[in-house]
Structure 1
Amino acid sequence: MRKIFFGFTLLFFCPGVLAQVSFTAAPSTLQFYSRDTATDSCSVSISGHVDKNATAYSELKVKTYRNDTLTATNSRTLSYSGDSAAFSLDIGIKAGLYNYKYEIYGVNGTTETLIRKADSVVCGDVYIIQGQSNAEARMYDGSASENNSPFIRVFGSADTAAGDTLWRIGQGDGDMQTMGNVGQWGLRMCKLIVDEYKIPIAVFNGAHGGMAIQYFQRNDTRPDTQNTNYGRLLFRLEKTGLAKNVRAIFWVQGEENANIAGNISTYKKWFTELRSDWLENYPNVKKIYVFQIRNGCSTLADRIIIIKEAHRQLGEDYSDVPVMSTSAQVHESNNCHYPYTGGYKLMADNIYRLVRRDFYGASYAADIEPPNIKFAEISGKSEITLYMKRILDSLIWDTAWSDTDFSFNVSFVTVSGGATYGNKVILSLSSSATSVTNITFLGHQNSPEPFVLNRNGVGAMHFYQFSITTAKYRDSVSVAAILAANSITKPVDSVVTYSGNRIVAINLGGMNIVTIPSDIGFVDSLKSIDLSNNLLTDLPREIVALSPSGFLNVKNNHLCGLSDTITAWINSFAGDTTWKITQTVDGSQVCSGTNVIFGKSKKAGNFSECSYLHNRLTIKFSDVSDRHEVRIFVANGACVAAFYPRTGIADIDISGLRRGVYMIRIKTAGNYKTFRFCLM
């Protein structure tokens, strides 16, 4: 290892000054630095010692070029202690599609001597790809070279020899022994990031084809040992100093465990241990994306579905483990791997939508996650309805299906037809559904899928022995999710009203609710919703799937700046827009807007008109003979001002009041009128 690395650094030293300067840190050609997302920049460290016994430099100078334009010159005066002078510089560079070049000079009087040079240095984001041959993703049919970019970088390779310690520009068509290999779908995903967000990407692909999940485990005694796949990958990350900068890991594995007849619990156990080790060695990983495998690879479908179900359950078990289907991809001729077009390219496009949402600030959109079952119910004598998790998704039923794609706990029931409606799949059965207690979605064995997909062409996830439940169960579980999300221990029945077996009203008013999960959209029988007097700052997009025609109350929350869609939904079912005037930022400060007195100028007793202009509150009374009283209260009920006008007009200076929400109470002739006053 040391000889190889030393030979590499010789390429960048001027031979005449090699003995004079030793570096402990310095950039090399093609080196990749990790971006600080808070500052959108990287720090390039240059440090070492100068030997005075050679030429005694008085100064060290570093010139930084961005795309061949000199952008900075940094220098350090050398202070010798004995025969040696230490130096250290940290140079900040901006992330982006820039190639940085560094020239390091030793200065002696007016003479500058070039000591080291590094070119094509970049600053960006780091990812890991790991798993079997579909993570390696070499070329089987069609090249991915259209995605080649100088801003996609690779260090070393997954070769078991572990001898390569050089930075290279990435390519996608090679295998694990090919220098610079990213894999076809990995290269495509990186190119999408580079093109849209102008961020260079470094990929560490540790894939090894034909291996079970056990092969990828860590040696806990020696995590970075070169005798394990885990250790070789970790060595590469630590060698580059990027182990603590990995943003996400992509896991594509499972065919071999299906081949050896693995079971759900054992596979999940191995993955849980692997995930724990990853999060320890790569502490800044925020997501571990798992691809659910496809049927094929000469393995029986009833074996593969076990590992598929383990993959699906991992997404349920861990919030940091999104799962992506591969059911929409077309196998190439070996029925195990994928061509570029329709295979690895589609794989990249599908996972990229999640990456751009999770890491690059893209807004949430429907139809970007694979359709994934949430509930299954008998909805007719010979009919079962599958409810998918993403309530706002729009599903498509393709005609290319087979009656063997689904199976049930009873063999005499098969699927005779299907349709989709919104996020639901409606299955017509060959006979009565009475005896059906669970359903399995196997999918096709080798021929192209999918026949259930969303509007972006993302295929549905397969599932195993999923229990048939009822609409009442769906309602109850969904309301329970709302209570659990807000740490409320009340039973579901204490906050709902039933009609028959369905929940038709939910009363969560004044319960310090801070969030409403998307699950509320599954309670599609709701006619009345009370969410008033809580701490809500937003409502889930999925709530617009409901039609609470009887009653909707969201008053006295913190619902500022809602989307137009949700605002229109509230306006439609709340009956008017007065709910807006009860919303505050924090209980005292109103939602952003103009100074306004909320409430219409209408007579209430002898009170006739109220207006605000230039820090003065003007109240007019229709009967000047009555005794009038005006009091102003803050949100907690404390009175901050009282006025007793003796004429028909009260002209009140309120310039001393801070911005916030106040209550004005007007008393005249024994009658009271109270309304909200929002001052900004």
Structure 2
Amino acid sequence: MIKTATHVTAGDVYVISGQSNAWAIDYNHAYNDDDLPADAQWVRTIGAMHVYNKSAIYPEATNTNWYLARGKAPDVRGGTQLVGNGMIGVLGLNIGMNLIASEGVPIAIINGAGGGGAISFYQKTKNVDLDSPYGRLHYRLEASGFKNKIKAFIWNQGEGNADDSVLDYQTSLNQLYKDFKTDYTFEKFYLIQTPPGCNSKNGHQNVREAQRQFAKTQEKVKILTRHGFPSNPKSENGTYFLSDGCHYHAVGYEILGKWISNMAKNDFYGALVDFEAPQLIGVTLESSTSLVIEFDKPIAIQPELIIGEIKYDLKDYAFAINNKRTTAISNLEIDPKNPKQLRLNFSKQTIYKGDTLTYILTDNYPESSIPYQGPWLTDFSTGVGAIGFTEVVK
């Protein structure tokens, strides 16, 4: 007898990296190990999740043991739990369980998210660097033997870059992606567009536009949003945000995990519905008071949303002309002959070729600290929110 082994599985590998909404703490204490469904036993991981802004914490930083994955992530709020063996967070566990339930394939989820920091914190420094998030993730993937067998690499980051220009964030993302392609082999790269939230004074519209442009230029990249989440049935006011306006109750991570796993089903397992977010084709001047926005998929308009005692309608709160939110849209309608086109009719405002149209400007509702959470433009079939953009009117 040379060796014995237990808990042996064969399946597919997914990698997550990014900030705290990729870290995905179990804020609602709904993912305790003893309460997990049976499918969770087929989600595996290697090593430990590790907070982004600390030097290597030993022995966890060099841990290469395999674990039954846990739906927890280190809860850094108290400043003490900075690392966690076998943890992949609420988002990671839901991706794994969803795929196992539908496909019957064991899933490895390796979560290298760090819980905070701008994209600069996640860049590659050197080949072996356990003091950096990139280095720690690379070490675990090397040890796993799967660094060249990744189904999809999931990047969910941007909250820490609200002050960036479009070019600044795009340059950083291009460099990070170049290093990922050098060090790993993955079939798809899932880019999660950064939504409103996190109380940024400048908003994340530049980050959203940089992510949109990046996804258009890379063959393996597919883009998904965190726009379009339905109301949370477990909260009094329906919000999926925590009181900090940045992170999510479990329901938010569960919805995103479902969308990501559904996109993977289409890419790898033969499902017919594509869950990629509706992407912009262009914005065209139809007349001095009318614009047509065209997407690559049929879209839908979510109904007005009431938060507190205020009624929010998409046409009054979601669009901006030349970086200034407009309330001059008199009518917003989907073309009945072409459901991929949305017509905006303006009153008391003249639109010109060369103007810029932004969908989702800044992070909060006007004169409010409440993060924008709808209404949204969504995919007619899947409910996934259309991407945010800033585009020149042609």
Tell me which residue corresponds to 2:344. 427
1:158 aligns with 2:49: yes
Offset at residue 447 of structure 1 (A): 4.0
Matches of 1:318 and 1:384, distance apart in 2: 29
> Residues 370 and 450 (structure 1 numbering): CA distance in 2 closer, same or farther, change over 3 Å?
farther
Matches of 1:286 and 1:447, distance apart in 2: 33
Q: Any stretches of 5+ residues in structure 1 without a counterpart?
A: 1-104, 106-114, 470-680
Deviation by residue 1:18-38 (Cα, 9 ceiling, x = unmatched): xxxxxxxxxxxxxxxxxxxxx
From 347, 357, 361, the equivalent of 1:439 is 357
Offset at residue 286 of structure 1 (A): 1.6
Matches of 1:204 and 1:410, distance apart in 2: 39
Offset at residue 344 of structure 1 (A): 0.8
C-alpha contact (below 8 Å) 1:152/1:201 kept by paired residues? yes
Deviation by residue 1:474-505 (Cα, 9 ceiling, x = unmatched): xxxxxxxxxxxxxxxxxxxxxxxxxxxxxxxx
How many residues in Structure 1 have an aligned counterpart in Structure 2?
344
Offset at residue 381 of structure 1 (A): 4.7
In structure 2, the residue corresponding to 1:419 is in which secondary structure? Answer: strand
Matches of 1:230 and 1:427, distance apart in 2: 44
In structure 1, the residue corresponding to 2:153 is in which secondary structure? Answer: strand
Matches of 1:397 and 1:385, distance apart in 2: 18
> Residues 410 and 170 (structure 1 numbering): CA distance in 2 closer, same or farther, change over 3 Å?
closer
C-alpha contact (below 8 Å) 1:387/1:425 kept by paired residues? yes
Matches of 1:142 and 1:460, distance apart in 2: 31
Matches within 5 A, 1:19-58: none
Offset at residue 287 of structure 1 (A): 1.2
Deviation by residue 1:499-524 (Cα, 9 ceiling, x = unmatched): xxxxxxxxxxxxxxxxxxxxxxxxxx
Deviation by residue 1:522-552 (Cα, 9 ceiling, x = unmatched): xxxxxxxxxxxxxxxxxxxxxxxxxxxxxxx
Structure number with bigger Rg:
1
Matches within 5 A, 1:240-639: 240-258=144-162, 261-282=163-184, 284-300=185-201, 302-329=202-229, 330-341=240-251, 343-363=252-272, 365=273, 368-390=275-297, 393-400=298-305, 401=313, 403-409=316-322, 414-421=328-335, 422-435=339-352, 437-442=355-360, 445=364, 446-455=371-380, 456-464=382-390, 466-469=391-394
TM-score after normalising by structure 1: 0.48
Deviation by residue 1:632-671 (Cα, 9 ceiling, x = unmatched): xxxxxxxxxxxxxxxxxxxxxxxxxxxxxxxxxxxxxxxx
Deviation by residue 1:392-449 (Cα, 9 ceiling, x = unmatched): x242342233524211028577323322231122222232434362201125621422
Tell me which residue corresponds to 2:85. 179
C-alpha contact (below 8 Å) 1:288/1:321 kept by paired residues? yes
1:193 aligns with 2:93: no
Offset at residue 270 of structure 1 (A): 1.4
C-alpha contact (below 8 Å) 1:194/1:200 kept by paired residues? yes
Offset at residue 163 of structure 1 (A): 3.6
C-alpha contact (below 8 Å) 2:334/2:340 kept by paired residues? yes
C-alpha contact (below 8 Å) 1:142/1:339 kept by paired residues? no
Offset at residue 306 of structure 1 (A): 0.6
> Residues 371 and 146 (structure 1 numbering): CA distance in 2 closer, same or farther, change over 3 Å?
farther
From 230, 237, 252, the equivalent of 2:134 is 230
Matches of 2:323 and 2:143, distance apart in 1: 56
In structure 2, the residue corresponding to 1:244 is in which secondary structure? Answer: coil
Tell me which residue corresponds to 1:510. none
> Residues 332 and 410 (structure 1 numbering): CA distance in 2 closer, same or farther, change over 3 Å?
closer
C-alpha contact (below 8 Å) 1:418/1:428 kept by paired residues? yes
Matches of 1:459 and 1:384, distance apart in 2: 20
- The one-letter code of the counterpart of 2:140 is R
Deviation by residue 1:207-250 (Cα, 9 ceiling, x = unmatched): 1122111111112xx31221221111111111222222222210
- The one-letter code of the counterpart of 2:352 is S
Q: Any stretches of 5+ residues in structure 2 without a counterpart?
A: 51-55, 75-81, 230-239, 306-312, 365-370
In structure 1, the residue corresponding to 2:204 is in which secondary structure? Answer: helix
Offset at residue 262 of structure 1 (A): 1.1
Matches within 5 A, 1:68-147: 105=1, 116-141=3-28, 143-144=30-31, 146=36
- The one-letter code of the counterpart of 2:219 is S
Higher relative contact order structure (alpha carbons within 8 Å, sequence separation ≥ 6): 2
- The one-letter code of the counterpart of 1:399 is E
Matches of 1:407 and 1:352, distance apart in 2: 33
TM-score after normalising by structure 2: 0.81
Matches of 1:354 and 1:463, distance apart in 2: 21
Cα RMSD after superposing both structures: 2.1
Matches of 1:328 and 1:173, distance apart in 2: 25
- The one-letter code of the counterpart of 1:157 is A
C-alpha contact (below 8 Å) 2:196/2:373 kept by paired residues? no
More strand per residue: 1 or 2? 1
In structure 2, the residue corresponding to 1:120 is in which secondary structure? Answer: coil
C-alpha contact (below 8 Å) 1:413/1:430 kept by paired residues? no
C-alpha contact (below 8 Å) 2:377/2:385 kept by paired residues? yes
Matches of 1:344 and 1:265, distance apart in 2: 29
Tell me which residue corresponds to 2:124. 218
> Residues 397 and 149 (structure 1 numbering): CA distance in 2 closer, same or farther, change over 3 Å?
closer
Matches of 1:419 and 1:142, distance apart in 2: 42
Matches of 1:286 and 1:122, distance apart in 2: 21
C-alpha contact (below 8 Å) 2:323/2:358 kept by paired residues? no
Residue identity over aligned pairs, in percent, reads 27
> Residues 178 and 410 (structure 1 numbering): CA distance in 2 closer, same or farther, change over 3 Å?
closer
> Residues 268 and 394 (structure 1 numbering): CA distance in 2 closer, same or farther, change over 3 Å?
closer
